Amino acid sequence: MSSQDNLLSLDRISIVYNKKVADAADVANHTLKVLKNSGLQAIVDIAPFPDYNASLVITVGGDGTLLKAARFCAPKGIPVLGINLGRLGFLAQLNPDEIPELPVQLIERQYFIQNRMMLSSFNDILALNDIVIKGDTFSRTSKLFLSINDRVVCDYLADGIIISTPTGSTAYTLSAGGPVIMPDVEAVVIVPICPHTLTARPLVIPASEKISISSCKSCTKLKLSADGQETIDVDFDKPITIEKSSIMAKLVILKKENNGFYSILRKKLQWGVGPER
């Protein structure tokens, strides 16, 4: 990536907020006012639209808001920056009290744009965090068959399977017992959800591998979910293929103190922090 590719165009900033999150509209309008007072052009939207033409999207909400915007913006090459109003905000770069500093950070180029790997499946489904596959009956386990590069790997009797990017390794995958992976590592994590065997362990494989998940007749349908938001039903006799997408999400990372990946792990997830005395 050239230095020019790592610079933002600030002529069409769109602030997208989640109307279901308390105070999101107020924070979005406050951000708009702060940007305009610094001479930057911006608008406020409730949600992405097909004719989107922004050069930068700022999301106001939780990580879910950012993930939704990223899936929409990635095919258009639009960078995304998050303001956190959620509980964790692992992907977001700003808290509301830091908004007054944003114009200077943008204008003085105190940031870099980080390309994040995405996963793709059929029907042009994209995921920045993960793709989760479960049976259609949530009260019982499912028989799921995993193949990699058309070679059978194993059978799972489990509640489901998570296929995760490095970005998603700190989300659902982590809570299911998967490893944490640096965002710039080219890998995919496969984690069974509540498997009924002690030998079923997470797999970390190269991002170039082709993953296929299928089931048996006991599951008339499988449910596929992208980033926990976009869900579709799949017939059991149609293998689900998941691969690294050629499309990359572009996340704006601010250059500020304690904003490295390891610092965020420690701060947001209390990684390696001992009990209070």
Residue 154: other Cβ atoms inside 10 A? 16
Rounded Cα gap, residues 195 and 141, in angstroms: 9
Contact call for residues 29 and 44 (beta carbons, < 8 A): yes
Distance CA 31, CA 8 (A): 18
At residue 3, the pLDDT reads: 41
Residue 145 class from Cβ within 10 Å (0-12 exposed, 13-18 middle, 19+ buried)?
A: middle
User: Can 237 be counted among the known catalytic residues?
Assistant: no
Among 23, 63, 184, 233, the one annotated catalytic: 63
DSSP one-letter code for 274: P
Domain ranges of the chain: 4-110+255-269, 120-247
pLDDT of 217? 66
Q: Cα separation of 42 and 202, whole Å?
A: 44
Biggest distance spanned by C-alpha atoms of the chain: 61
Residue 125 to residues 15, 95, 146, 221, 241, Cα–Cα distance (Å)? 24, 30, 19, 18, 11
User: Vertex 71, ends 111 and 104: CA angle to 5°?
Assistant: 20
Q: Return the closest-CA partner of residue 95 out of 220, 262, 258.
A: 258
pLDDT at 125: 94
Name residue 81's beta-bridge partners.
58
pLDDT of residue 158: 92
CA distance 254 to 101: 11
Candidate CATH numbers 3.40.50.300, 3.40.50.10330, 1.20.120.10, 3.40.50.720; the one for domain 4-110+255-269 = 3.40.50.10330
Q: Does domain 120-247 have CATH number 2.60.200.30?
A: yes
Q: What is the pLDDT along the chain (277 residues), one digit of tens a residue?
A: 434 468 899 999 999 998 888 899 999 999 999 999 999 999 998 766 666 789 999 999 999 999 999 999 999 999 999 999 977 778 999 999 999 999 999 999 999 999 999 999 987 899 999 999 998 776 678 889 999 999 999 999 999 999 999 999 999 999 999 999 999 999 999 999 999 988 889 999 999 999 999 987 666 688 999 999 989 998 877 899 999 999 999 999 999 888 888 888 888 787 776 656 6
Two tokens at 117? 């790997």
Residue 202 structure tokens: 């997470």
